[in-house]
């Protein structure tokens, strides 16, 4: 099994260049209040500066956005995936799916028995991201949740036939531990940053650890 990799929270041409040249399948941008918030104009400008033959899928992250707000971004940016990162209800996610006609990922913020909520969203989403719940913040906090709960999320994802990505506080020093749970994918933002920007060395360390893990599995 190949572990999918998403590098999120890119907020400069420097970040975009480093991630476009990485092994990650997905490049993420935050269109919500955050220190990593970007505009459609910025993202378009950065993506036009990189080779057009890149194979990265572009993920647009929204937090409790209206459908019209999402539609506006999608009309301006070559978005492949909509990431619903807030308190969006299953009904709203269904409507986004119908109106925007894009791949939809839903974030489940970890709390007691949160995995049970996945079944409500499963008919309308293509994957789940399990992230830390930090008061007053939606992500990119560098804080992990209790990974002992990961097996429940992965088991539920398998029963719903939806991939499960893990996010929240993942970095080169703890990714080996995370990989022992065999998530379908890993979503990293602050864990590949140095002084607030995406760092080639940290990216390479993450990639080496994931490659080693995947190679051992394929032996």
pLDDT per position as a tens digit, 144-191:
999 999 999 999 999 999 999 999 999 999 999 999 999 999 999 999
Nearest-angstrom CA–CA distance, 190 and 8: 8
**What percent of the chain has a predicted confidence (pLDDT) above 70?**
95
**Could you tell me the maximum CA-CA distance found in the chain, to the nearest angstrom?**
48
pLDDT for position 24: 97
Residue 103 vs residue 214, higher pLDDT = 103
pLDDT for position 52: 80
Beta strands in the chain, from DSSP E residues, in sequence order: 4-7, 26-30, 57-62, 81-84, 103-109, 127-131, 164-167, 185-188, 193-194, 197-198
Q: Enter the pTM of the model.
A: 0.94
Beta strands in 50-143, from DSSP E residues, in sequence order: 57-62, 81-84, 103-109, 127-131
pLDDT bracket for residue 1 (50, 70, 90): low
Nearest-angstrom CA–CA distance, 197 and 188: 13
pLDDT in tens, 52-105: 888 999 999 999 999 999 999 999 999 999 999 999 999 999 999 999 999 999
62 phi and psi, to 5 degrees? Answer: -125, 150
Task: Please state, as a whole number, how many other Cβ atoms lie within 10 Å of the Cβ of residue 155.
Answer: 12
Domains of the chain, first to last: 4-218 (3.20.20.70)
pLDDT for position 186: 98
pLDDT in tens, 179-192: 999 999 999 999 99
């Amino acid at each position: 099994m190949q572990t999918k990799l998403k590098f999120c929270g890119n907020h400069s041409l420097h970040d975009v260049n480093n991630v476009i040249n990485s092994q990650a399948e997905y490049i993420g941008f935050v269109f919500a209040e955050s220190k990593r918030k970007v505009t459609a104009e910025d993202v378009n400008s950065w993506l036009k500066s990189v080779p057009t033959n890149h194979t990265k899928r572009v993920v647009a992250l929204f937090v409790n956005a209206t459908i019209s707000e999402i539609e506006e971004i999608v009309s301006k940016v070559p978005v492949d995936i909509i990431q619903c990162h807030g308190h969006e209800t299953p009904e709203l996610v269904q409507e986004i799916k119908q109106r925007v006609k894009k791949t939809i990922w839903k974030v489940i913020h970890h709390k007691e028995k949160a995995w049970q909520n996945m079944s409500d969203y499963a008919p309308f989403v293509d994957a789940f991201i399990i992230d830390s719940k930090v008061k007053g913040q939606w992500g990119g906090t560098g804080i992990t949740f209790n990974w002992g709960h990961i097996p429940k999320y992965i088991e539920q994802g398998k029963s719903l036939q939806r991939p499960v990505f893990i996010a929240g506080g993942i970095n080169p020093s703890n990714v080996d531990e995370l990989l022992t749970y065999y998530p379908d994918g890993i979503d990293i933002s602050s864990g590949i940053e140095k002084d607030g920007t995406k760092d080639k060395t940290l990216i390479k360390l993450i990639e080496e650890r994931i490659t080693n893990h995947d190679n051992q599995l394929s032996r």
